[in-house]
A = this chain, B = another copy of it.
Amino acid sequence: MSKVIIVGGVAGGASAAARLRRLDEKAEIIMFEKGEYISFANCGLPYYIGGEITEKEALTLQTPESFHGRFNVDVRVLQEVISIDVNKKLVRVKNLKTNETYEETYDKLLLSPGAAPAKPNIKGGDNEKVFTLRNIPDTYRIKDYADKRHVKSAVIVGGGYIGVEMADNLHAAGLKVTIVEFADHVIAPIDYDMACEVHNHIRSKGVNLILKDGVKEIRDQGEQLKVILGNGEIITDMVIMSVGVRPESTLAKDAGLEVSPKGAIIVNANMQTSNRDIYAVGDAIQIKDFVTGDDGYIPLAGPANKQGRIAAENIVGISSTYKGTQGTGILKCFDLTIANTGITEARAKELNLNYEKSFTYSASHASYYPGAVNMSIKLIFDKDSGKILGAQIVGYEGTDKRLDVIATAIRAGMTIYDLTELELAYAPPFSSAKDPVNMAGFVAENIMTGKVKNFHWNEVKDLPRDGSVSLLDVRTNMEYENGSIDGFMNIPLDDLREKLHILDKSKPVYVTCQIGLRGYLACRILEQNGYECYNLSGGYRLYNTIYY
């Protein structure tokens, strides 16, 4: 009978324990959790604070008792594993209730200690009105503080997934919210151009969004706090620090296990650490980026759960491999959904990849059926092969669906040509005969096969306004009059064929329309009539979202 010790009783740890028991009814399994709770819904915590989730019980999927009852696992909460002796194959455990320490031997050890919120070294960052959010006690602390002190405002430092979710939820709870983000945009796994729509949405909700600025210091100011930025200051009732997480790998490091420069535990595809009897999963480990093959760090619940299951298989001797993380993520941001998979354009640039990109804007379902809303899709793909490298979608209904389809396509190694062929379910309440994913594929295909040459929003301001090129807006007069790009003249698409003579054939034509579709049609007409021409990818809509 083998004895398996698991460190950490939540996503990776509990998943591994459950699968392990199913695979080996006879193993002795001990699961240590330094906190009070196991199997809790980390991802639900912001929604409890916001009031969307109302039952405390809803936050814990299993209790130590229920988990023992079902899986016959010896669950020890409030017990912290403080060191590993890899030679003696034992762990030293501190019982946090009694402060006693004791040892437990193992045949196999699995580490799923997760990651802790990063606490940047800010003067005053240890103020008791400054909070981080990782677990249930943190959650109660924030909620109790907000409720009991009748808190009216909060500053959220960091506009990542958790920061934005907290903004949404604290706003829902009635607080005046400020987000301070050091970068030029929120949600690092999407690009700046896609994030602009998110910025506008967040601001439209009355949230104060400060970009490209950081917190220098936090001071008490009466009952409140003064948050001093590089550029300005904010008086607020509380601060939430959400500037990322760092792997909890001290235990592993101290035991001599290999860790990455950033402190993530290094594992092979079987989830084995540098010590063959020790496995590690979840937020504590370094992963292979599925798209680039590079080492990476992507702390997400889906991967943690799957890695836990895979580690369990390897522990019982079933060879099972984890093929990498592509970083599929999603969040609700007020009414918007923001979702991403694979790499961003920014990352493709960093890696010097030979990539292309497309922007489309498509209806969630048939436009003639009530309730259709548009979503923006950005695709990043390899310029030679057309292989999909990443996608970002910002929208409402159906955003998650299209993202998951593309995430699946990326897993399958598909190209943008394959996207044109996907046979997705169509009836008016659900999609269009050409699904937004097909449409993104068509548009990318037209770029790849040279049917259209594009220019981009960031190139608009540098276009000559001296008459050496033609700047053409093919929307209707009314659309044009409601707002257009400086220097662009208007010939509506449907008049273009008869008004071609207005355009000088010796000059390149830069075309825009609302979303890029009519500009594409115009370019097809122009090009076949002998013009050199370029279509503004994403059209006036994308441009205007960015320069709003």
Taking beta carbons and an 8 Å cutoff, which residues of A are in contact with B? 11, 21-26, 41, 43-44, 47, 52-53, 58-59, 61, 66, 69-70, 72, 161, 165, 290, 300-306, 309, 323, 325-332, 337, 339, 341, 366, 368-370, 400-401, 403-405, 407-409, 411-414, 418, 420-431, 433-435, 438, 442, 451, 493-494, 497, 520-521, 524-525, 528-529
Contact = CB atoms under 8 A, between A and B. Distances in A.
Contacts of A325: 423
Contact of A44 (B305, B369, B422, B430): B369
Give 10 nearest A-B pairs by CB, closest first: A412-B412, A330-B425, A25-B528, A401-B401, A58-B368, A301-B433, A69-B494, A305-B433, A408-B408, A328-B423
A216 to B, nearest CB: 32
Nearest to A330: B425
Contacts of A524: 21-23, 25
A411 B421 contact: yes
B421 A306 contact: yes
User: Which among A11, A327, A401, A525 has the greatest number of chain B C-beta atoms within 10 A?
Assistant: A401
A422 B435 contact: no
Contacts of A497: 72
User: Which among A53, A303, A412, A520 has the greatest number of chain B C-beta atoms within 10 A?
Assistant: A412
Contacts of A425: 328-330, 339, 341, 400, 403-404, 407
Contacts of A408: 405, 408-409, 412, 422, 424
B421 A43 contact: no
A422 B303 CA distance: 10
B422 A368 contact: no
A52 B369 contact: yes
Contacts of A529: 25
A341 B25 contact: no
Contact of A52 (B66, B370, B426): B370
A257 to B, nearest CB: 25
Nearest to A413: B412
B521 A424 contact: no
Contacts of A53: 368-370
Contact of A433 (B304, B413, B427, B493): B304
Given A305-B434, A370-B53, A411-B422, A47 B428 contact: yes
Contacts of A43: 366, 426-428, 433
Contacts of A421: 306, 323, 411
Contact of A302 (B47, B300, B329, B434): B434
23 contacts: A24-B528, A25-B529, A70-B493, A301-B426, A301-B433, A302-B423, A302-B433, A305-B434, A306-B421, A329-B426, A332-B429, A400-B430, A401-B401, A403-B425, A404-B404, A405-B405, A407-B423, A407-B425, A408-B409, A411-B418, A411-B421, A411-B422, A411-B423
A60 B482 CA distance: 27
Nearest to A425: B330
User: Which among A165, A329, A427 has the greatest number of chain B C-beta atoms within 10 A?
Assistant: A427
Given A328-B426, A405-B405, 17 more contacts: A22-B524, A24-B528, A41-B428, A43-B366, A43-B426, A44-B366, A59-B368, A302-B424, A305-B434, A306-B421, A328-B425, A330-B427, A330-B430, A332-B427, A404-B404, A408-B412, A411-B423
A298 to B, nearest CB: 10
A27 to B, nearest CB: 10
Contact of A41 (B70, B327, B368, B434): B368
A447 B209 CA distance: 51
Contacts of A405: 404-405, 408
Contacts of A72: 497
